């Protein structure tokens, strides 16, 4: 049994690498972009337009969930294009407020120009935060972690407290990053980490990532600030909830976050038990890299895609 489980893990790890590597291939990209929405991307993405997304956010609220949304996109290299992204996010923020939805925004700094100029990403971010709604900065590939944390700290120093960010359990550096952030009572989302990173900087073995996640979750819950535990891993969620119960951490201090389309029954079960569950619900025409990361996390999703392709 243990040998079968080990084999399964090894096959999944190789498939994950293959999917994340294939994601960069132009041929794969053009094929998936052309047919992907029809074939099943809609399971993970709330449509290509803001109107479609708002309808999904409303439905999630009606089911008892909180939600966030992201206009999909990353790695913008044209300063003019970031202006359009910021304008689009202003529209999203205003629309969420106008519709009275229990939803906020999570975004990527490379979408706001981080690869062009850190100052530009900072300025774009502070402009959005000045609208008053909470915004979380996602964490991207390891080369962006320092700049992302620098920008987060600068925003907080300017008194913009309606901002949160993300730490990735697979990175060896994360316990130190967490320690330096805790005095600020930060609003942090903890994830395992979605990118292909080198074993020099990130745990290559899933068991080590899971253990790191559990320890970081406990440090966050024992510390100050708001904790967003973003994972579909039921045993890690149970372990964190048990820790919170045993240490008298009030339920208002943490929330559980999962992705739209992933483990919906678990999302519902946790919400019914009275936990705050936020469903991360992205939208937009640039859904390709997001979809490939979701397929990489669970190669079985690829079967779901292939079945739809065959059906036709």
Ligand X SMILES: Cc1cc2nc3c(=O)[nH]c(=O)nc-3n(C[C@H](O)[C@H](O)[C@H](O)COP(=O)(O)OP(=O)(O)OC[C@H]3O[C@@H](n4cnc5c(N)ncnc54)[C@H](O)[C@@H]3O)c2cc1C
Minimal CA–CA distance to 102: which of 306, 247, 281? Answer: 281
Nearest CB to ligand X, comparing residues 54 and 166: 166
Stretch that binds ligand X, among 154-162, 178-186, 226-234, 244-252 (CB under 6 A): 226-234
Q: Which residues pair with 277 in a beta bridge?
A: 256
Distances (CA, A) of 135 to 11, 235, 300: 37, 28, 32
Looking at 64-115, list the stretches that DSSP marks H as alpha helix, in order from N- to C-terminal side. Answer: 79-98
The whole-angstrom separation of Cα 242 and Cα 275 is: 13
Residue 222 has phi, psi (to 5 degrees) of -75, -20
The whole-angstrom separation of Cα 18 and Cα 20 is: 6
Q: Does 231 bind ligand X (CB under 6 A)?
A: yes
- Shortest separation between residue 292's beta carbon and ligand X, angstroms: 11
Handedness of CA 195, 297, 192, 187 (dihedral sign): positive
HSE (CB half, 13 Å, CA atoms) of 30?
2
Helix (H) or strand (E) holding 267: helix 264-272
The catalytic residue among 16, 136, 189, 294 is 189
The catalytic residue among 136, 138, 177, 210 is 138
Residue 309 CB neighbours (<10 A): 13
Hey, which residues between 47 and 76 contact ligand X (CB under 6 A)? none
Nearest CB to ligand X, comparing residues 69 and 124: 69
Stretch that binds ligand X, among 26-34, 219-227, 246-254, 258-266 (CB under 6 A): 258-266
Handedness of CA 284, 289, 293, 299 (dihedral sign): positive
Nearest CB to ligand X, comparing residues 79 and 235: 235
Active site residue 131: no
Would you say how long the chain is, in residues?
Answer: 312
Stretch that binds ligand X, among 22-30, 75-83, 85-93, 252-260 (CB under 6 A): 252-260
Active site residue 294: no
- Shortest separation between residue 28's beta carbon and ligand X, angstroms: 18
The DSSP output letter for 79 is: H
Q: Does 292 bind ligand X (CB under 6 A)?
A: no
Hey, which residues between 265 and 284 contact ligand X (CB under 6 A)? 280
Nearest CB to ligand X, comparing residues 75 and 79: 75
Looking at 135-262, list the stretches that DSSP marks H as alpha helix, in order from N- to C-terminal side. Answer: 145-157, 174-181, 206-222, 234-246
Question: Judged by CB under 6 A, which of 121, 142, 294, 305 binds ligand X?
Answer: 294
- Shortest separation between residue 80's beta carbon and ligand X, angstroms: 26
Q: Does 154 bind ligand X (CB under 6 A)?
A: no
Nearest CB to ligand X, comparing residues 184 and 262: 262
Contacts of 126 (CB under 8 A, 6+ apart): 155, 158, 160
Q: Does 230 bind ligand X (CB under 6 A)?
A: yes
Q: Does 193 bind ligand X (CB under 6 A)?
A: yes
The DSSP output letter for 162 is: S
Q: Does 151 bind ligand X (CB under 6 A)?
A: no
Stretch that binds ligand X, among 11-19, 24-32, 177-185, 294-302 (CB under 6 A): 294-302
- Shortest separation between residue 248's beta carbon and ligand X, angstroms: 26
Nearest CB to ligand X, comparing residues 50 and 230: 230
Q: Report residue 17 as tokens.
A: 């690498």
Residues acting as catalytic residues: 138, 189
Binding residues vs ligand X (CB under 6 A):
138-139, 166, 168, 191-195, 230-233, 257-259, 262-263, 280, 294, 297-298, 301
């Amino acid at each position: 049994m243990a040998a079968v489980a080990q084999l399964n893990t090894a096959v999944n790890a190789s498939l994950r690498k293959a999917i994340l590597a294939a994601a960069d291939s132009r041929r794969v990209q053009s094929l998936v972009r052309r047919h992907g929405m029809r074939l099943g991307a809609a399971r993970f993405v709330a449509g290509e337009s803001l109107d479609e997304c708002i309808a999904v956010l409303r439905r999630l609220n009606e089911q008892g969930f909180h939600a966030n949304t992201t206009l999909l996109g990353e790695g913008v290299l044209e300063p003019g294009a970031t202006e359009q992204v910021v304008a689009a996010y202003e529209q999203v923020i205003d629309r969420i407020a106008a519709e009275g939805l229990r939803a906020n925004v999570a975004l990527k700094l490379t979408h706001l120009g981080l690869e062009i100029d850190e100052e530009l990403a900072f300025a774009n971010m502070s402009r959005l935060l000045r609208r008053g709604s909470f915004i979380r900065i996602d964490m991207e590939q390891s080369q962006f972690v320092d700049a992302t944390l620098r920008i987060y700290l600068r925003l907080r120093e300017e008194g913009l407290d309606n901002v949160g960010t993300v730490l990735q359990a697979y990175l060896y550096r994360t316990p130190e990053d967490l320690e330096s952030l805790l005095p600020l009572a930060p609003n942090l989302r903890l994830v395992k980490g979605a990118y292909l990173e080198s074993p020099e900087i990130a745990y290559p073995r899933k068991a080590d990532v899971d253990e790191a996640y559990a320890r970081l979750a406990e440090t966050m819950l024992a510390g100050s600030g708001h904790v967003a535990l973003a994972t579909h891993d039921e045993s890690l969620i149970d372990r964190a909830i048990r820790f919170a119960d045993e240490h008298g951490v009030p339920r208002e201090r943490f929330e559980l976050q999962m992705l739209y389309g992933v483990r919906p029954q678990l999302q519902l079960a946790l919400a019914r038990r009275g936990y705050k569950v936020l469903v991360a619900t992205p939208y937009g025409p640039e859904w390709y890299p997001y979809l490939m990361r979701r397929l990489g996390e669970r190669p079985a999703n690829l079967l779901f895609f292939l079945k739809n392709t065959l059906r036709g």
